[in-house]
Structures are given as structure tokens and as C-alpha cells.
Chains A and B, each alone.
Chain A
């Protein structure tokens, strides 16, 4: 069972609505993340790769709010610049999972029968593996780079989207007005675009927001394991990994990039839940 599937069940299930304050805070966090992605150079106090050996391993303080690393590079600046890779990889992976999942789900749901059975068994097999393991396998074959990272993570989450979308397609197909449209001679393509897709979009988008958080978490984990971008560029996962050796005397190195991942994933999850609440989907 993938993490995304678990999250979807937990978060998507009946429960309290998110308080508006939480949703606003989460939105602000994601907007801040977006700002970091778009204009990191304007937000970061220093260039991310400017070494300053005399300022190595400084703890958080006025000059360096999050401290510095072994080469005296400003950690805040590195986290801000790292957001670009972390968030973009997360977004790209989610988009990939959504598109791939939609293709499989729509085909399976619309055609049904043998096609549906075969596709869903494949999806079942994929769901049986933890997504991280799938992604790890994929990236081991592909080799490491941000693009391949996004592909690996995206592929590993296709199954969850496929399953959700197929379910919705089946639900929509059974609705009376779709049957009416079929009877009145609307062709399959038209049926798909005019009646099915709009009805499936909502839940899929809500899942996509959740999926973004999960994809970021997975891509950060893979980066942490060394499958990320090439140095000196570093995403959050790599930054956290780089600080491991100095955990005892420089706690900030791993902590802040880790917090950045956690906060962003949490924000994405909260918004995903809020979207589901609004749309009344479960």
C-alpha cells in the first residue's frame, strides 16, 4: 500500500473540517515555497555556493539565521535555492502520476471487461509495493538526475491515481444521465470529455495536492540516499543527508532542511484535505 493511498484514506475519510486558520497558514507556507522556487536569488541573503572557510559550521545566529555548513556556506540560502529542485521535482512527479493514472484509469473504467481486469491487476501489483521501493528501483535503473528523480517518483504513484480515477469513471458511467447520453448516440470520445472527465477531475485534483506532498517526501528521501541532483546544487534531501556526519556538533545542518520538507508536506496535506472537504468528496 503506497503512502499516498494511506494518506488518501486517512485524510479523505469523514472527520472534522479543517479550521480556516490552518488552511490559511498552509496556503501561506506553500506560497512562500512558491516564491522561493520563482525568485530564490531575491530571497536568499547569500549565493548558495559561496564558500567562506573562516565561517565554517557557525550555529544559527544573526548573520546566518540557519547557520553555515562545513564550507561556510549559508544554510538558509541553500535551503531557499534547494526549494526549486525539491518543489519542482515534487510537482513534476505529481503531474506525471496524475496523467499516467488518468490514462490508465479512464481506459480501464471506460472499456471495462478484460482491459479493466488486466490493467487493475497491474495496478494491484504496483500498489502491493511501497512507493518508495518502486521509486528506488526505478531510479537505480534510470540513474540519478532531477528529471529521472521526478520520473521515478511519478511512476511509483501512478497506481494510486489510476485506481481512484477508474473508480470514479465507473461511478459516473452508472449515472442515469450518462446512460441517457449513451442511448442518445453520443460517441465514446464525446462521452469521455463532456461527461466523465469533468466529474472525475475534482477528486483527482484533491488527490494531486496530497500527492504533491508525498512525491516531495519521496524525492527528498531518494535525494537523501544519493539519487538527487549533482553538487554543488542541493535539494532538501541532499542537504539533510550532507549534515548527517556532523549531527553531534552541528545539529542545524540536517534539522532545517528536514523541517522544510516536513512543513511543506504538511501544508500540502492540509490543503489537499481542505480541497476534498470543499468538494465534498470522500
Chain B
């Protein structure tokens, strides 16, 4: 399965395999949040030039229908358009290839009316039949879609009602479909390119976007060339017509030092997935670093509340109070990642601040009250049992999560809680999570909908115990999932987050953030609603 997603990719799907198993409506969409450049955009955009962008991971497969990798989104976004677009600032869904759409009340039937002028780069028209071919292809088992098919959960078929109108039907409510349709995962590709089979699409995709794939050399680079005659940009774009850049070269450089070094030396104009430490150094050297907080579940720790003695809420609360997330983000992330203020990140619709204050004294008080006394080595115990947590985390870790684990271990040691670190390959970690045989666990999860709390924390797919078994939380999340009424959803998700904080069911640490470094020639390098860089509006100054 796609390693990129968890280990090297931009999308922090720590428990990606679980997600694929359980996510019926995983929606990788960004939403609100600022992504503008600091300044310098007042000048008139200049067409032409080649932008070389160093990215950390090879997409492996360029086709977002098949690949769940963020790298496939990064390349795919410029090549394929979607039915609808999402405004990175407001999160609103706006027309793109579809000029209008309607939904039935139960969110089981979506009717789209396509614009009349869009064509694929191979010359064929973007019509209703082409859209049907795309959705049918995504759910076809032969496509082996790792993520996109999940967005079409319950898909029963598409009916072409006229040349440019179609109906997408689901056997069960799929409220998340419209947002999902804004992503390149459900982007519309030329049906003509499907004939050669899925493996061929991995090497080259054909869409109606402002760029076309001209070259893909695995582990080296993907080259995109501007397509002449592009006239159907969504209104979320800063301009209409052809892209400014003549060519975009996505150069693959997994090593962090190499990426920031190539920006410094002028070999590339922009770099993605900059580490916080490199970001500080780049800013000192006069480069721009833009950050975008991603939507979904913040990087959080979970104490297994189904396992003794952690069924006692006081113990979990003590752990939450003893962990100093401010120290973590300052030490490891130079404050480039913000401290999490809820289990959801602030860019997630439905987010509500629900913080636990750090206090060693309160933590100590709670542990004392629960009857756990410190032994000779400083670790507390009760009835001969040590107060310890085994933490199985993915190794090799990204975003310095291995160091984070060691820092948290020391923080908890101060209040007499022992943490046993157990780095393991991703597969082992997932197996433990699935079997319920875990004590302390860490995840983050990208999805711009508060329903992610239900699909990730409450999932019992495949008979596994839910990660956070709590009836009050389950009730609040079920209420949010059962309605399309915005106010009701908001209230229920606020209750859910409050419940999680009060009971210390999750301990939020930091908000995952995408950092992009650019040279001073690069203008209008912005993020799309996914929180990934997009190049349609980007131009190069002299």
C-alpha cells in the first residue's frame, strides 16, 4: 500500500490502512484558512518560465484514482480538473467542470450540469459520458483504487440524462461526496486514456487541466507543460485562461537537507515539506516560507481507556495535564507548527477550542487522589502494579515524532508515569491498533470534516474495538453524522470535542502543517483547499 501517505507523504494518515478499511467517506479536503503570500503580488503576472519544485516523495503512481499518495495529488491537481472546486479561504464548494448541481435531501442522488466548452488535452469533450466513465472506473475492482473508491462509498451508478447532465446515485447517504468531488482523487480524466489499463495511467494521466504530463521518471522528476487554450478555471483561481508557467518540474528529493539546500543554491525555485528547523534557516537566509495548517484530527495521543487501570478518567486527565505540548512545539517544531487546541485542527469545520491546561501540580494531585504512590525509582504504583504505558509508534518516524515520544516520556516521568517506547514498522503498529492491544497511541488524520472523529475514533470495522470507546462521545458523533443541518452538526461536534477534552480521551499535541519555501522570484505560490501547493496561478518574476 502507499507508503507515501504515512511515511513520506504530506497527508498525515498515520493509520492509513485502517482508514482504507473503515473510511467510507474519507474526504481529503482542506477548507478555511489563510494561504496567501505575504506580498509582492501587486505586479502584473508575467507568463513564461520553468518552475522547479523540489518535493519529498515520488508519487509512485501518477493516477489519483488509484494512488492515495499526497504526491499524486500534487502532480495530479494541475493535470485533471474536478466537477466542483473548493475555496481555500471559505471552504465553499463552487462550480468548476459542473456549472451547477443539486442534491436530494438524503444525500443519495447528486445531479450535475456540466459546462459546455471544456475538453480534455487529447481533444475529446468533457461530457456526461466521460464523467460516468470516471466514476465507474474508480469503483471497478480492477482499478484497485486505494482511496478514491472510498469517497464513492455506496455508489450504485451514474445515469447520463443528457449530453451534459448526469445523476450520481448512492445506495446510502453520502454527505461527504460533494467535498470529495472537489479533490483530484475524484478528478475527471479522459476516458480515452483508460483503455491502456490502470498501470498505464500510473505513468501518464490525461485530463482537462491547465497542464499536461510530458515526462515522468520515477524517483527523479515529473514534468508538466502548459496546455494552450485552457478556459475553464474555477472562480477560486486568481485568473482565467492559460497558466502562466510554461513548465513545472517536480523534482523528487527525499532528503530534507538536499531540498532546502537546492533552494538556497538556486537550483530550484520552490521546495515542499520543509522541516521546521530548515524553515527557520531559510527565513534567516531571506527565503519565503509559507505555512498552511491542515484540516482533520490534530496530531494527538490516545490512552486506551478500555485497558485497566486507564479506565479511571483521573489517570488519563493526569497524563493530559503532565504533557506540555507548548514545550513540544517550541523544542521540536520551533513554533512553526501550532500547539493543538482541540482534537480537531482550527481549519476543520466544526472545530471548537477545548483545551486542557498543562499543570504538573494538578497531574500529581490527580494521581495521588487515585491512590498511585511513587516508588523508589520515581514511578508510581498501586497494589504492586506500575503505572506504565507502552507506546508503539511508527518507525522510521516523520516530523520528528520519535523525538517527540522521547520528550513526552520525560515529561510523564516527572509525574511518575512510565512510558515504554516501542518503535515498530507501520504494519505492526496498525495490527496492534486493530486488535485493541495497545496502551498509548498517536495519530493525526487529514480530512476537512468533523465526522472524521466518528470514522477514525469510533470505527469498529472488521470487529476491532473502537479506539475511543465512550458512549457519550458516540452519541454526540452519531447525532452529527445523522444530519445535514449545520447548526445541529456544529453543536454536536462541539459537545464531542468537549467530552474528549474533559475525559482526556485524546491528548492533542500539534496541528500538522505544510511548509513551503520559495525564492523571491516565485509569485502567487498558493495552497489549494487540500493544503497542497498549486501552480496554476503561480508566475516567475524576473
Contacts and interface: CB of A to CB of B under 8 A. Distances in A.
B331 interface: yes
B410 A50 contact: yes
A231 B410 contact: no
Interface in B403-418: 403, 405-407, 409-410
B256 A245 contact: yes
B407 A247 contact: no
A231 B327 contact: no
Contacts of A50: 410
Contact of A70 (B256, B327, B400, B423): B400
Given A245-B257, A245-B275, A230 B421 contact: yes
Contacts of B257: 245, 247-248
Interface string A44-65: 0000011101001000000000
Most buried by A among B395, B407, B423: B407
A140 to B, nearest CB: 11
A51 B407 contact: yes
A6 interface: no
Count class of interface residues, chain B: 20 to 34
Interface string B244-277: 0000000000001100010000000000000101
Interface residues of A, number: 17
Give me the 10 closest cross-chain CB pairs, A-B, nearest first. Answer: A53-B331, A51-B410, A232-B406, A231-B421, A53-B327, A71-B407, A70-B403, A231-B406, A248-B257, A56-B331
A14 interface: no
A246 interface: yes
A72 interface: yes
Interface string A153-183: 0000000000000000000000000000000
Interface string A220-261: 000000100011100000000000011111000000000000
Given A71-B331, A248-B257, A230 B422 contact: yes
B23 to A, nearest CB: 30
A49 B423 contact: no
Interface in B383-412: 395-396, 400, 402-403, 405-407, 409-410
Contacts of A71: 331-332, 403, 406-407, 410
B322 to A, nearest CB: 14
Contacts, number: 47
B330 interface: yes
A248 B278 CA distance: 10
B409 A232 contact: yes
A232 B400 contact: no
Contacts of A49: 406, 409-410
Contacts of A245: 256-257, 275, 277
Given A53-B331, A245-B256, A231 B407 contact: no
Nearest to A54: B331
B281 interface: yes
B421 A232 contact: yes
Contacts of B400: 70
Interface in B263-300: 275, 277, 281
A51 B324 CA distance: 13
7 contacts: A56-B331, A70-B332, A231-B402, A232-B406, A232-B421, A245-B275, A249-B281
**Majority secondary structure of chain A interface residues (helix, strand, loop or mixed):** loop
A149 to B, nearest CB: 15
Contacts of B327: 53
A193 B409 CA distance: 53
Given A50-B410, A231-B421, A248-B261, 16 more contacts: A49-B410, A51-B406, A53-B330, A56-B331, A70-B332, A71-B331, A71-B403, A71-B410, A226-B395, A230-B421, A231-B402, A231-B406, A232-B421, A245-B256, A245-B277, A247-B257
Contacts of B406: 49, 51, 71, 231-232
Interface in B74-101: none
Which of A49, A51, A56, A249 has the most B CB atoms < 10 Å from its CB?
A51
A50 B378 CA distance: 14
Nearest to A49: B410
A67 B261 CA distance: 24
Interface in B302-353: 327, 330-332
Nearest to A56: B331
A232 B327 CA distance: 18
Contacts of A56: 331
A49 B414 CA distance: 12
A76 B370 CA distance: 39
A48 to B, nearest CB: 11
A64 to B, nearest CB: 16
Contact of B405 (A231, A246, A247): A231
B170 to A, nearest CB: 44
B419 to A, nearest CB: 10
B326 to A, nearest CB: 10
A72 B421 contact: no
Interface in B454-497: none
Nearest to A50: B410
A225 B55 CA distance: 23
Nearest to A230: B421
Nearest to B330: A53
A51 B408 CA distance: 10
Most buried by B among A50, A231, A249: A231
B33 to A, nearest CB: 28
B403 A246 contact: no
Nearest to B410: A51
Contacts of B281: 248-249
Contacts of B261: 248
A232 B277 CA distance: 22
A49 B405 CA distance: 12
Contacts of B330: 53
A129 B396 CA distance: 27
Contact of A249 (B277, B402, B407): B277
B423 A231 contact: yes
A230 B423 contact: yes
